[in-house]
Chains A and B, each alone.
Chain A
Amino acid sequence: MLGTGILKGLAVTAKNLAGSFHDPGRFVTTQYPEQRSVLPENYRNFPFLVAEDDKDPMGTLRCVACQICEKECPPQCIYIEKSRDKKPDAAGKMQLYPAVFDIDISVCMSCQICVEVCPFDAIKMDQEFEIATDNRFRPLLRDREQLARSNRYFQQVHPTEAAEVDARLAAARRAAEEKAAAKAPPPARQEVQTKPATERPDPPAGGIKTEA
């Protein structure tokens, strides 16, 4: 009979209308500024630089200015200048550091390739999304001071990944210490021991607790 299809459709809309008042499956809108949905752990938007220490982020950046991310970045939004001097990294090895590290986040497309290609776990993806600004130049070009976040922050936003990275770095550090202890003369050993022991909030070998 003509019209039964329309009536059936109206029954569906009526069911959805009624359901939207009590059925959570049909009640899908999040009233954003007041309510916030929980971001999944893998959520990414813009990169940040990992620093070992909250107090001295510029002195403890993991980045060694190898410029791999700069080369691999598809939209070419990273600009790095190497330092002239060296300073010890987390494992105590003398390394270059980025004298300039800029990311133009108006160009960045959040693809995470810089994170994947970084051999030093020095650049990771942030989850901060409320970064709108009324100026389209300077606030969108982030320098290394603005990009640096502590390892503790990384543990908060990506707990699983951070635990993995910390365990890997701790193992590498232990291996380096053992190697140094086995063959090196005392002065070299001293240097290795003092740096990480005092500067790092020591991560447990089995991984970091998620609440950090």
Chain B
Amino acid sequence: MIENLSSPLVSPAGARVRPVQDAFHGDLLEVSMGPHHPSTHGVFRMMVTLDGEAIVRLKPVFGYLHRNHEKLGENTTYLGSMPYTDRLDYLNSMTNNWAYALAVEKLIGQPVPERAEYVRVILAELTRLQNHTCLAGFLMQDCGCSGTPLMYAFRERERILDLFESLSGSRMMCNYQRFGGCRVDPGPEWLDAVRGLVEGYGAFLDEYEALLTGNEIVMARTQGVGRLKPDLAVSAGITGPMLRAAGVPYDIRKVDGYGIYPRFSFRVPLGDHGDTYDRYMIRVLEARESISILRQALKDIPAGPIIDPKSRLRGLRPKAGEAYGRIEGPKGEIGFYLISDGGPNPHRYRVRAPSFVNLTLLEDLCLGHTVADAVVILGSIDIVLGEVDR
């Protein structure tokens, strides 16, 4: 039991919160969810204050997986940080690699050959496919669909990870991008395997949607739950599918046009309500757009070098300066901010982790909802603790 709460019990998101004064709702209960709880997607703790079943306050506690990533980045060479970026958001190592490579390439003014740009786009979109599929699976697991959607998602994800493994040597810790290109040139068989997978993926998404999208239980559990207002999302710095589900058209692939994204035609799906169901739907629709980007990239991929022959692997000593490389990762804006003082290591190495920023609104989304809804809302934010805690 805790004393009266001093802050007003109305969330900025506008969620209804019951008053605590009357005889039946006076006693508040503080519950610690996590850090070792399967619904928290890792070692994450929510200190939930409950009035009956309604959440009146939620304090996210993280840092249990802190591994000094940014300090390590200041003490290793530019190349040496690359394998550590795999371990940030370990579902999406390819996009993490790309964002870091982009920052270093900006810092040293390194051009990237055409073929490598195409391979990067192909890998980033494959990563997005598997991340969004997984997210839908995890979200359904949080809703209580024990296993089935998650196993279907993992079955498809495994096919993509097999492609990653045959290209980079590792399923998840790919360590594939280099400054000025990529490490291994994908052969024609590999590209054919990707083509086969891309052609079959639409059918899988159809099947997956038949299982979930119109399902009445899924709708009852997710619609109207965890509503996010667009202005709040923008002022909190939310990015990625969560922001677009709230109806804000902001996609760094369109805004920055990094790499060769301006060459591809694709749409940016937007949500209407900003609730959990919209966040699920955005993922499915983005996966479909990814398939379209992949088709275009696989059609146009040119021959040529995979890495700039003048690029240097080690012994980089960039001139004093700073660079920020950001891309639209599957979870939002993943960015690396580097300051060089002319030495072999970055003077400052900072990661803008999308799930960390997206997680800051958890309390606003959860206020007024029940504990079971908080689990679903957390699932729809799509966090990976390796990236939140770094």
Contact = CB atoms under 8 A, between A and B. Distances in A.
Interface of A: 2-6, 8-9, 11-13, 15-16, 26, 28, 40-44, 68, 72-74, 109-113, 116-117, 125
B215 interface: yes
Interface in B178-213: 183-184, 207, 210-213
B224 to A, nearest CB: 17
B216 A42 contact: no
Nearest to A117: B314
**Which of B77, B84, B175 is most buried by chain A, counting CB atoms within 10 A of its CB?**
B175
B83 interface: yes
Given A72-B79, A74-B83, A113-B79, A42 B167 contact: yes
Interface in B71-100: 76-77, 79-84, 86
A42 B165 contact: yes
B313 interface: yes
A111 B166 CA distance: 15
Contacts of A41: 166
Nearest to A158: B169
A68 B170 CA distance: 23
Interface residues of B, number: 37
B210 A13 contact: no
Given A16-B152, A74-B84, A4 B214 contact: yes
Contacts of A125: 169
Contact of A110 (B152, B155, B173, B212): B173
B165 A13 contact: no
B70 interface: no
Contacts of A68: 314
A10 to B, nearest CB: 9
30 contacts: A5-B213, A5-B214, A5-B215, A5-B216, A5-B219, A6-B215, A8-B214, A9-B210, A9-B212, A9-B214, A11-B210, A16-B152, A40-B165, A42-B166, A43-B165, A43-B166, A44-B169, A72-B77, A72-B79, A74-B76, A74-B80, A110-B170, A110-B173, A111-B173, A112-B175, A113-B79, A113-B82, A117-B79, A117-B314, A125-B169
A93 B149 CA distance: 61
A43 B84 contact: no
B215 A9 contact: yes
A168 B374 CA distance: 60
Contacts of B162: 40
A5 B313 CA distance: 54
A125 B175 CA distance: 14
B148 interface: yes
B208 to A, nearest CB: 8
A6 B81 contact: no
Sorted from nearest, which 9 A-B pairs have the closest CB atoms? A111-B83, A5-B214, A40-B166, A44-B169, A74-B80, A5-B215, A42-B169, A9-B211, A12-B211
Nearest to B183: A116
Given A3-B216, A74-B76, A74-B84, A117 B313 contact: yes
Contact of A28 (B158, B207, B215): B158
B212 A113 contact: no
B219 A113 contact: no
B372 interface: no
